[in-house]
């Protein structure tokens, strides 16, 4: 997405989330950060971490399996 498309999509999803549930499956962490929402990490059928983006990206299991740091 272009930066303008990303901003528009973020605004749309935030608006929809005010009145209903929204599930976004995305690997672009900056896009997820812009949504400012609860994050659930799924890896091989398990949930190694849930919470804020900062919380899940500090989880060692998430780092090892998904972030490659």
Q: Report the pLDDT value the prediction gives residue 69, as an integer from 0 to 100.
A: 60
Q: Report the pLDDT value the prediction gives residue 47, as an integer from 0 to 100.
A: 93
pLDDT at residue 67 is higher than 80:
no
Query: Which of 67, 33, 24 minimizes the C-alpha distance to 52?
Result: 33
Q: Report the pLDDT value the prediction gives residue 9, as an integer from 0 to 100.
A: 95
What is the per-residue DSSP string for 1-64? Answer: --HHHHHHHHHHHHHHHTTS--------HHHHHHH---EEEEETTEEEEEE-HHHHHT-HHHII
Q: Where are the domains of the chain?
A: 3-67
pLDDT in tens, 7-65: 999 999 999 999 999 999 988 889 999 999 999 999 999 999 999 999 999 999 898 88
**Separation of alpha carbons 9 and 3, rounded Å:** 10
């Amino acid at each position: 997405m272009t930066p303008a498309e990303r901003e528009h999509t973020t605004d749309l999803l935030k608006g929809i989330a005010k009145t209903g549930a929204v599930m976004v499956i995305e690997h672009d962490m900056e896009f997820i950060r812009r949504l400012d929402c609860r994050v659930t990490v799924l890896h091989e059928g398990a949930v190694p971490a849930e919470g804020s983006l900062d919380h899940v990206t500090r989880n060692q299991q998430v780092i090892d399996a998904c972030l490659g740091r």
